[in-house]
Chains A and B, each alone.
Chain A
């Protein structure tokens, strides 16, 4: 029997961020993770820390995202100080590049709406024409008609972030248990235990940060977590000298020099392989956007499964049947990593989620079901 303050199920960006936040606050946290082969959205992530286009029609989401993006700098610095691992976080602003007037119009309307919904948070943005966009990113091709820009956007290396979170968790006395796929949970209010490979882990708090696994795990503690996989495919190139000064929604250059092209979205069930059609469509758009990419060599393509709620929003909830059991799930594990580590962990300790997260409660699914 091993006693902890909290058991976190899932060792990806979401679970580890919360566990790290707990450990940093002096709580004894254990992360139970699957093995080397698991559906890991964290490993397939595009790596944007992205604000524009998040929370259209849901101001609460816009605010939560903005908060995390504002926190990211400090969060990254703290991780680097503690572990020596740089997350590669940068916040040079970002653009969404449009290839047709229709796309740009749509973008313009969306940004205006976001601005409107931002209220006192304020949401500054610019719509750029081709020449203005070219000034920001000289490498764009003639087919780029314009872009939307905000200064809030940025990117990080999701893999280094995950590695740093793991290292920092351990430094703060947290435990990490790999090859520990959770099938059963013994649950009572504020009393949870999980037995894996002969060891029982017990704690008054349970955090489900297991991505797509949260659906089945949630049922065991009275949480309705209707997430489904949405496949995303990504292409990455060889390292090239710096050419993209800021991230764009679908194309960004990493600190190593590789250029990532992504991401598609499609329902493909649990199949996480790439397909020639999607890779072709991504590449076609990429060379239209940046003609120099035509000759750049591909090193890898991959697919990963996003963790998607029916309305695309995160799900944050504490179980009513089993207080002490929380779920934390979203498809923006990088963008929201700072919020999860710095804030969500505190809510778990407090044993209550604040009103500003009410919009992300599972109650919204009850309403949907009733309607």
Chain B
């Protein structure tokens, strides 16, 4: 959905977005990493499985909920990427493993 502008430093962090290895600049949020690497929904809603994607990027709308390192429903726009981070789309309600 978004592209990197020119004149950006070349340093990168490797993360997995939906199990695909991608490289993003350090300091990125998980939501920004998603926006850079997908054109479509980054979650489906817990209410009716509607497709949604990041909307406000400042922590108020909760549209960027994603599963980060196995923890569901994290606000992707507030989590900074780290090497090897696993970022997955949130599919509907979170599952509980008992």
Report A-B touching, CB under 8 Å: yes
A297 to B73, CA, bound (A): 8
Range for the number of chain B residues in contact with chain A? 10 to 19
Determine if B93 and A139 form an interchain contact, defined as CB atoms under 8 angstroms apart.
Answer: no
Q: Which of A241, A256, A295 contacts B71 (CB 8 A)?
A: A295
Whether a CB of chain B sits under 8 angstroms from the CB of A238 is yes
When distances are taken between beta carbons in the complex, the residues of chain B under 8 Å from A296 are 94, 96
Determine if A239 and B96 form an interchain contact, defined as CB atoms under 8 angstroms apart.
Answer: no
Whether a CB of chain B sits under 8 angstroms from the CB of A292 is yes
| B window 30-57: CB within 8 A of A | 46-47
| Given A239-B47, A239-B93, A257-B46: A139 and B98 interface contact (C-beta under 8 Å) | yes
Interface size on A, residues (CB 8 A): 13
Shortest Cβ distance from A140 into B: residue: B98
Q: Mark B84-98, 1 if CB is under 8 A from A, else 0.
A: 000000001111111
| Given A257-B46, A295-B71: A241 and B98 interface contact (C-beta under 8 Å) | no
Q: Within the complex, what minimum Cβ distance (angstroms) separates B79 from chain A?
A: 14
Whether a CB of chain B sits under 8 angstroms from the CB of A243 is yes
| Given A138-B98, A139-B98: A239 and B46 interface contact (C-beta under 8 Å) | yes
A62 to B39, CA, bound (A): 59
A12 to B14, CA, bound (A): 56
| A window 225-275: CB within 8 A of B | 238-241, 243, 256-257
Determine if A292 and B96 form an interchain contact, defined as CB atoms under 8 angstroms apart.
Answer: yes
A179 to B2, CA, bound (A): 50
When distances are taken between beta carbons in the complex, the residues of chain B under 8 Å from A243 are 96, 98
Q: Which of A139, A238, A241, A256 contacts B95 (CB 8 A)?
A: A241
Binding site for B on A (CB under 8 A): 138-139, 238-241, 243, 256-257, 292, 295-297
Binding site for A on B (CB under 8 A): 46-47, 71, 73, 92-98
In addition to A240-B93, A297-B73, 9 A-B residue pairs with Cβ atoms within 8 Å of each other are A238-B73, A239-B46, A239-B47, A240-B94, A240-B95, A240-B96, A241-B92, A241-B96, A292-B97
